[in-house]
Structure formats: structure tokens, C-alpha cells
Structure 1
Amino acid sequence: MSNLAIRTVLFSMLGNAVLAGIKFLAGIFGNSYALIADGIESTVDIFSSLLVLMGLRYAERPADENHPYGHGKAEPLITFLVVVFLVVSAVAIAWQAIQNIQTPHSLPEPWTLIVLGAIIIWKESSYQLVMKRAKKIQSSSLKAEAWHHRSDAFTSVAAFLGISVAIFGGEGFEVADDYAALIACVFILYNCYGIFRPALSEVMDEDNYEELTQKIRKIALQVEGVKGTEKCFIRKAGMKYHVDLHATVTGSLSVREGHDIAHALKDRLRRELQELGHVLIHIEPA
């Protein structure tokens, strides 16, 4: 799983590096600040992808004496840093767009629309690919990486609309390109919340895993000696879910028999649900 995540982040970094160069060149020679703003975001995305890569590698470290539950919490913390990068880039883009609105400049070149059309298709395709892999391995930082691609697509759409208005409106509509950059900033900030909220939920150990809870209860009932389940608490750390489960057994069983049932249940859960990390079984008399 970690190898898949790392390959995905490297794919994002390479794609953003290439696109940043294309956007800067097209923006400079095509007289479009919206494209230059797009290039700034892609450049910031390269550094945020590097943070995600570092976070994934650290989160995969095995448990040790000081971290008995592993290092998975590093992943949402890295996600917070990614959000900070996005907010800073949005503010920088907005500031420069406001400056440009106050300064007369030339109309964008029509061919920049072709460049933007290709970029939009690429970034949305990248979003779909990265999000699919993020959901597969339950990685919050990889989901943030996917939303980077989606926000980049949004800024490119805004740039496309702004440049279109400027080109077809002609003289007097040059600032449409800059207003498009401002609109793109709003989308970026909105996406920041969408990235930040799940990571915060993970750090605060919110239990929002009803589907996984039902799977755990269903599997538990298939283990010989388990009569039912009571409390089931789940918390996520990195790509693993740690579980505290109360299982009911016949009250007249010996301590050793209850112990054996608990181990059988734990082994069964971890065998059938590969995403589970620590599993703590508490035996209750039926």
C-alpha cells in the first residue's frame, strides 16, 4: 500500500513540475496572469507533494517503545501543512491579481485557451486517478493530494473563462483575466476546508466509521464462542484503523477459554480486514 501511495505522489510531483513550466511560459508569452497564477499554484503543489511524500514515509514506520500505535498520526499533521501551503498560494495569487487589475496591460493571446483546455483535462484525470488510489488505501494526505489536482483544474477553468471574456470582449476587458484569478482563489480556499476537516477528524479520533463497524460486528459473530458484540470504538492513524471491541461470551467459561476466544476473534478480524492495526478485545459475560 505504501509503495502505491509513494508512486502516486511521485506521479503528481512530475506532472506538476511539467505543468508549472508550461503555465509560466504560456502566461508570460501569452500575456495571461491567470495562467501565471495557475503556474504559481502548480509550483506550490510540488513542495506540498514533497511534504506528503515525507509524511507517508514517516507514517509507515513500525511501532516502537515511544510510539506503540505506530507513527500514522504524522499523515494528518502533514495534511495540515499542505493546507497551509494552499492558503498561502491563494493569498499570493489574489494579491497579485488585485495589483494587476489596477495596472493596464495587454489582452491575452487566443492560443492560451488551447493550452488551458489541455491542462484542465489532464488535471481532472489526475484527480480521478489519485482519489481512486487514496480511497483504496484510506490515506488522508493522498486525498489532499488529489484535491490539489482538482483545485488546479478549478483555477484553470476560471482562467479559461477569464481569458475567453478578455479575448472576445476586446479592449477594456483585459482585467477579466485577473478577475478569473481571484475567482480561482475562492475555489482554492473552499477546497482547503474540504481537505482540512477529515484530517482534523482523524487527529481528534472521531468515530465516523459505521460501515467498518458493521463489518467488524458481522465477522465477530462468525467466531466460535462469540455470542454478540457491545461497544466498538474505532480510530484511524495513517492508513490503519485501531479497534476496541467488547465481545460477549458464555459467562461460565474459564478465563483461559475466554482468552482463547478473544485471540481467535482478533486473528480473524486482522486476517479478513487488512486495514486494521491494533485490535483490543474485551470479553464480557453474556
Structure 2
Amino acid sequence: MSSFEPIEKSQSSQNESFAISSVPLVGVAVNASLACVKILAGVFGNSYALIADGIESTADIVSSLVVWGGLRVAVTPANERHPYGYGKAEALAGVVASLGILAAAAMIAFQAIREILTPHHLPHWSTLLILILVVCVKELLARWTSQVGQQADSVALQADAWHHRADAISSIAAFIGILIALVGGTGYEPADDWAALVACAVIAYSGLRLLYITSRDILDAAPPKEVEDQVRLIAGQIPGVMAVEKCRIRKSGTSLFVEIHIEVDGHASVDQGHRIGGAVRGSLRKAGLKIADAFVHVEPYSELLSK
């Protein structure tokens, strides 16, 4: 037998989800401002590295909007067509954001190579001041977004945070390249373009790393072993549970779904088994592990199977 009912989210949980989904909008506003500043400074300061940085910021805007959309869809309540909810939309948004990072890296690399082959003037020293501002702002934004993402266990927000950090890294590379060009003088004009090319490698690495992380959620990869151990411990402490056999956990959005097989006294009545299963389900949902629901399968206790 099993104990399973429609999923219901508390009002506080829904409010928290909507608050989390507003985080990418802050990133959109910041990136839009920085993109304009960097592109204009790059054009007037003769620095393609800074222009490339501005282009990467526009990619960040698209990425943050995708993450925002995914998070908003993910909090949609479950219904008959989607009984497990829309949590996977968050992981899909993370995948799109990761692909956006890779696309931005490829685009910047292509343009950087073109600029290296094209003679141009030395960048202006004022571009260094712009880059210092950009690095500080983007790193603060990355840390804040990452902190919220870790607290909510949101892969989409963590992907967005890495997108911000990739922008900060590319800005650091641009700063170094422009500084080399200014100090070296004639003959070192392409230094900032080479810096943009180096930054592409870092950005591409972060994109591949995030693609791996977000894909795990879509493919229902098991959570850390510690989570399963906690679930087994909680279920095993319920009166009437003599053993915990199987335990499968998958992640959907920021929530977990548990399938657990418990063993009870083989002479217990159907009603007793149902009550024990219900107690296990209730305890798991209240355990603070972000378990949205638990499917509890009740079996007769077997010493042989439990060893």
C-alpha cells in the first residue's frame, strides 16, 4: 500500500519562491547599466576587450531573464496534468543559461581573433577605471546571487551567479590586457584583445561546469548521500517502522520527492500499516529538508531482507 496525496505548498513557501524569483531581475537592471557603460567606454576608449565585456553583459541580461522565467514557472502549483509540479522548469532555465555562457564565450573569441588581426590604436587609460568599477559590482552581485541560490538550493540561481562571476573574470582579464598595452606602448595594442581571448576560456569552463550541474537535476541524479541518510534516519525513528528497505530521492526545482519502502510487523492490520506510512510521510515533509512529498510503500518485515 502507499500513502500519497496531492501536493500542497504553504503560503510561506510560495512567498519565499516568488521572492527568490525576483533575484534575477536585480541582475537584469545591473547588467543593463553596466553593458551600456562598458560598450560606450570601449568604443571611445579604443578597447575591444571592454566592448567584448559589454557584449557579455548583454548576454547576462538574456540569461537572467531566462532564469527569472524558469523560476516563475517552477513555482506554479501542481495540477492534474503535472501532478509533480513544474520544478523542472528551473533546471531547464539553468541549462539555457549555461548554453548562453558558452555562446557568449564563442562570440567573444571570434571577435577577439578578428581584432587581433586588425591594426588599431592603444586603449585609453580611463578604461581601467571603468573595469575596476565593473569587477567590484559584478563580484558583489555574484556573491549575493550565489548565497540566495545556495540557501534555496536553486541550480538556476547558482548558474546566474556564475554568469555574473564570469563577467567579473573577463573584466579582470581585460584590465590586465589594457594595462599591458598602455605600459608596453607601440606594438602592444592587441594585448587587451588577447586578454579577451583568455577570458573566453574561463567563461567557457564555467559554462560547461554549470551545464553539468543543471543537467544532473533534469536527469534525476541522486542528491548527496547525506540527504538519503537523513531520510532513512527520520523514517526509521517512526514507531512501528522496523526497517527501511529502499530509498530513492529526486530533485525538482528546489524541492525533493522521496520514494521510500518501509517494513512493519507482518501481522499488523491494513489500517495500522496505513497510519505508520502516513506518519512517515508527515515527518519527512516537516523535517526541513524541502521534501515536497513522499511516496511510502509499506511491506511486511523480513529479517533476511533487512540484514
Q: Quickly name the TM-score band, shorter chain normalised.
A: over 0.9
Alignment partner, residue 213 of structure 1: 228
Greater mean alpha carbon deviation, residues 70-79 or residues 232-241: 70-79
Q: Is the contact made by 1:19 and 1:42 (CA closer than 8 Å) also made in structure 2?
A: yes
Instruction: Tell me how far apart the structure 2 counterparts of residues 152 and 74 of structure 1 sit (CA, whole Å).
Output: 25
Q: RCO (CA 8 Å, sep 6+): is it higher in 1 or 2?
A: 2
Match of 1:128 among 112, 126, 143: 143
- Superposed CA deviations along residues 216-243 of structure 1, whole A, max 9, x for unmatched, are 1222233221223121101111111110
Instruction: Tell me how far apart the structure 2 counterparts of residues 97 and 244 of structure 1 sit (CA, whole Å).
Output: 51
Alignment partner, residue 78 of structure 1: 93
Alignment partner, residue 270 of structure 2: 255
SS of equivalent to 1:272 = coil
Alignment partner, residue 26 of structure 1: 41
| Cα drift, residue 201 of structure 1 | 0.9
Q: Is the contact made by 1:209 and 1:234 (CA closer than 8 Å) also made in structure 2?
A: no
Which residue identity does 1:56 align to in structure 2?
L
Alignment partner, residue 112 of structure 2: 97
Instruction: Tell me how far apart the structure 2 counterparts of residues 216 and 81 of structure 1 sit (CA, whole Å).
Output: 32
Q: Which runs of 5+ in 1 are unaligned?
A: none
SS of equivalent to 2:286 = helix
Match of 1:265 among 280, 294, 303: 280
| Cα drift, residue 7 of structure 1 | 2.2
Which residue identity does 1:277 align to in structure 2?
A
Alignment partner, residue 110 of structure 1: 125
| Cα drift, residue 284 of structure 1 | 2.4
Alignment partner, residue 137 of structure 1: 152
Which residue identity does 2:239 align to in structure 1?
E
Which residue identity does 1:86 align to in structure 2?
I
Q: Is the contact made by 2:173 and 2:199 (CA closer than 8 Å) also made in structure 1?
A: yes
SS of equivalent to 2:137 = helix
Alignment partner, residue 185 of structure 1: 200
Instruction: Tell me how far apart the structure 2 counterparts of residues 10 and 216 of structure 1 sit (CA, whole Å).
Output: 35
- Superposed CA deviations along residues 122-168 of structure 1, whole A, max 9, x for unmatched, are 21121111111111111111111011111011101110110111011
SS of equivalent to 2:268 = coil
Instruction: Tell me how far apart the structure 2 counterparts of residues 85 and 257 of structure 1 sit (CA, whole Å).
Output: 53
Q: Confirm or deny that 1:54 pairs with 2:55.
A: no
Which residue identity does 1:253 align to in structure 2?
A
Q: Is the contact made by 1:35 and 1:159 (CA closer than 8 Å) also made in structure 2?
A: yes
| Cα drift, residue 89 of structure 1 | 1.6
Alignment partner, residue 51 of structure 2: 36
Alignment partner, residue 191 of structure 2: 176
Q: Is the contact made by 1:233 and 1:245 (CA closer than 8 Å) also made in structure 2?
A: yes
Q: Confirm or deny that 1:224 pairs with 2:239.
A: yes
Which residue identity does 1:187 align to in structure 2?
V
Greater mean alpha carbon deviation, residues 86-95 or residues 31-40: 86-95
| Cα drift, residue 35 of structure 1 | 0.6
SS of equivalent to 1:70 = coil
Match of 1:237 among 252, 259, 281: 252
SS of equivalent to 2:186 = coil
SS of equivalent to 2:263 = strand
Q: Which runs of 5+ in 2 are unaligned?
A: 1-15, 302-307
RMSD (Å), alpha carbons: 1.3
Which residue identity does 2:215 align to in structure 1?
L
Question: Where does 1:147-158 land on structure 2 (aligned, <5 Å)?
Answer: 147-158=162-173
Q: Is the contact made by 1:94 and 1:182 (CA closer than 8 Å) also made in structure 2?
A: yes
Counterparts in 2 of 1:26 and 1:11: CA distance versus 1, 3 Å: same
Which residue identity does 1:269 align to in structure 2?
L
Which residue identity does 2:24 align to in structure 1?
V
- Superposed CA deviations along residues 229-284 of structure 1, whole A, max 9, x for unmatched, are 12110111111111001122222211110100000110111012251122101112
| Cα drift, residue 103 of structure 1 | 1.0
SS of equivalent to 1:253 = coil
TM-score, L = length of structure 1: 0.96
Moved over 2 A (4+): none
